[in-house]
Structure formats: structure tokens, C-alpha cells
Amino acid sequence: MMRSLRDDFPTLRGENPPAYLDSACVTLKPQPVIDAIMDYYTKYPSCGGRSVHRYGTHVSKALSVARNSIKNFICAEHANEVVFTRNTTHAINQIAHGMSWSEGDVVLTTDREHNSNLVPWLQLEQEHGIDHRVVESNEDNSFNMETFEEACADANGRLKMVAMGHVGNLDGVTLPIKDIAKVAHDHGALVAVDGAQSTPHMKVDVQELGIDFLSFSIHKMCGPSGMGGLWGRYDLLDSLRTIQSGGQTVSASSYTKATWAPPPHRFEGGLGHFSGMIGAGAAIDYLSALDMDAVQAHEQKLNAIMTKGVKHLDGVDIIGPQNPTKRSGICSLLMKSVPAHEAALLLDEAAGVMVRSGHHCVHSWFENKGFSEGSLRASAYFYNTEEEAKLFADTLEEIVNTLG
Ligand SMILES: Cc1ncc(COP(=O)(O)O)c(C=O)c1O
């Protein structure tokens, strides 16, 4: 199944396609997404939602189709609960800076958050005196429910938000979000899930999870860069102030007063990234045609191959649980003998294997553990093959054996 899909991706066609194992950062783009973007620029390059001429009407319709596709993909109740954003970071900032805060309000995150789900809360702490607290994970980075429950109780009625990454980009560990949401709600808190690494790789059903907000990156879902999404329960979205006011965000204005437009338009100030939104719709339609359970199983299978091939290497430690089925498609390695950046360059140079090296925007975790060099991270998607997973492991072994 997965192999036949490769032809849809221009960068995977031809004689020597790369073994692209950096999809946790950005995914490759399939032809239908590229076509949808090209169509916008070549056939109706105009403004949606405002102009009523033929081009404008075409864009408006395409935007509403795209929003609806996203709504169906994440099982939202209504398309008006889906906001187009620039990325996950923008979505989380809209939640964090759109809410009203009082000094001492408690926000809980884990100790393995991407900066996008850490720094906005730190900013609120600095600027509004909220109390951001970190829930420590187990030794192997898995979630500790007891510690979390204690942290909720310790907040003493001041818990306002539980903001956690569904799947870690650091280690691929999945959090039991449904259980977390239940506990958080019992304590009167809202639950904002950073779905940047889950929404592209597994079935994410916001109703089933019982959460309040979901942020995601369309560019990690075969869609255009500069595109992401925010979902929120309608009444909650409606209670947020916009962090970008201006055109589109009001239903009326006078010299003295702005009357805010309802969601989602209140949050989409200024002329939109229309080609991106239409490309987002095409990307979500593309993913909607896949069996997301099969996508998840495929990535786990590839991770098992990568893990088996690298776990015995000298000076290489896997971050997170040793069992690959607990790390989705992510194989993140602490490199003790060959620096991660050097290994990443050599993997591409020697075998066309593209991976990421560094701190993956989770500086806080590396700083806390004292691993200043960061890690080497291979991340698989449905278009990767078993051969590519093996090529990664074999080439890394050669590099470590030669230089380590
Ligand atoms: C878990 C997680 N959260 C947030 C982000 C930030 O996403 P974006 O760059 O789309 O804002 C990423 C990106 O890698 C991520 O992996």
C-alpha cells in the first residue's frame, strides 16, 4: 500500500530518490497538493470571503470545502470550529494569549514540550504572573499519571489549563490524552493538545479524546508550509480575544467600536494565505483517503527496523522507551562518539539519508538532562520503505564504526 503512494510524491520519483526521514519536521508534498496550489495561482488568484466576482466566489467555495475537510478529519462538530493558522505555534499562541488570565492561575505542561508549547506559557508567566508548572515524566520519558494527578491536586483549585503534546517530537512518546483530559476536567481545567506530531500520524478524534483545543501543522501533513490549524470547542473559541485584529476579524466597526466577528474569522485577520488554505484542503483530502491506523502501524514497523539496527551501536542511546512500538515513527539518538550534526551530514552524503540533528526545539529537556549536543532524529512517514529504514541503520553503523 505505502509503496504505491510514493509515485504521488515528485521528490520520490526518478532514479535515486533520497531516504527522507525528516517528516517530523516537514513532510514531502504529493502531486494533488502541488496541483491545488498551482491551480489557485494559475486559474483564480484572487481574494476569498470578500470579492463576489467569479474568481472570488471560486476561492470562497474552495476555502469552505477545505475547512470542511479538516473538520471531518479530526471529527469536529462544525467547520466553524476550525481556524486556519500559520502553524502549530500560531495556534497555541492564539489560545494562550487569547484567554484571560489572573495572577496565580496554574498551567501544567510536561517536561518534554516543544518550545511552541512551552514558551507561550513562560511568556504568560513573565507578563501576567501565571504559575506554569512542569509535570515530570518517568525515567524513559513515558507519562506518569500519578505525578500528573498530584500536580492537579497541588494546584489547589487554581488549575486553569493543561497544555500537553500528544506525541513528542523529541522521542515519539504518545500521551494518554483521553485520561489526562478527564482528570484535568475533574479539576476544572481546560485541555489544549499540541497535536503537531499526532494528527499527521494517527486517527485523532477530538470528540473521543474529550479535549478543548487542538493545534496542528498542515506542513507536517503533506500540506504547504506556512499552514497550520487550530480547533476549539465553539463556545470556548468564541470566548477568546483575537491576537491579530484587523480586516476580517470584525462584523462591524465604527470610529469608536469594533464588533468582533464570530469564530473562525475573528482569528484570521488580514488577507489570507489562500493558496495555502486550498493546498491544506487537498492535503487533508489526501490523508483522508488513507487508513490512519495502517499509517501508524507502518511507521511503527519502520521504527522497529531502525531500532533493531542501531540499539547495539557503541556510543548511541535511544531517547525514550526502548520498545519501538512506544515511539511512533521517531528514532531519536543521543550520539556519544560521533557528533549528531556530523553524522547527519554523512548520512546524506554517503547514502542520501535525510535526518535531523540538534535540539528539535526541545532545548529545555536537553538542558535539564545535561545533553548539550542534542540528538540525531530519524522520523518515518507512510511513504518511507523498509529498505530506507534499514539503509539508515546500516549507514549509521558504518559511520559509528569508522569515526566512533
Ligand atoms: C510537538 C510539536 N509541537 C509544535 C511544533 C511547532 O510546529 P510549527 O513549526 O508548525 O509551529 C512542532 C514542530 O516540530 C512539534 O513537533
CATH 3.40.640.10: which residues of the chain? 44-288
CATH 3.90.1150.10: which residues of the chain? 2-29+291-403
Cell for 112?
Answer: 518534554
Q: Enter the CATH code of domain 44-288.
A: 3.40.640.10
CA pair distance 232, 301, nearest whole angstrom: 33
Measure Cα distances from 350 to 340, 344, 399 in Å.
15, 10, 9
Interval 84-109: pLDDT, tens: 999 999 999 999 999 999 999 999 99
Task: Single out the residue of 28, 22, 112, 114 nearest to residue 357, CA to CA.
Answer: 22
Is the four-CA dihedral 116, 91, 187, 173 of positive or negative sign? negative
Contact (Cβ atoms closer than 8 angstroms) between residue 21 and residue 388: yes
Q: Is the CB of 89 under 6 A from ligand 1?
A: yes
3-class secondary structure, 135: strand
Q: Which of 25, 47, 75, 361 is catalytic?
A: 361
CA pair distance 260, 128, nearest whole angstrom: 24
Mean pLDDT of the chain: 97
Interval 203-239: pLDDT, tens: 999 999 999 999 999 999 999 999 999 999 999 999 9
pTM for the predicted model, two decimal places: 0.98
Contact (Cβ atoms closer than 8 angstroms) between residue 94 and residue 241: no
Atom in ligand 1 nearest the alpha carbon of residue 217:
10
Interval 17-34: pLDDT, tens: 999 999 999 999 999 999
Q: What is the whole-number distance in angstroms between the Cα of residue 60 and the centre of ligand 1?
A: 28
pLDDT exceeding 70 applies to what percent of the chain? 99
Atom in ligand 1 nearest the alpha carbon of residue 168:
1
Question: With bands split at pLDDT 50, 70 and 90, how would you rate the model's confidence at 280?
Answer: very high
Q: 2-29+291-403, superfamily in CATH?
A: Aspartate Aminotransferase, domain 1 (3.90.1150.10)
- Examine the pLDDT at 171 and tell me if it is beyond 80: yes
Q: Is the CB of 379 under 6 A from ligand 1?
A: no
What one-letter code names the amino acid at 148? F
Q: Are strands 330-335 and 316-318 parallel, antiparallel or unpaired?
A: antiparallel
361: left (phi over 0), alpha (psi -120 to 50) or beta: left
**Is residue 361 annotated as part of the catalytic site, yes or no?**
yes
Interval 119-144: pLDDT, tens: 999 999 999 999 999 999 999 999 99
Contact (Cβ atoms closer than 8 angstroms) between residue 395 and residue 352: no
Task: Single out the residue of 171, 210, 380 nearest to residue 296, CA to CA.
Answer: 380
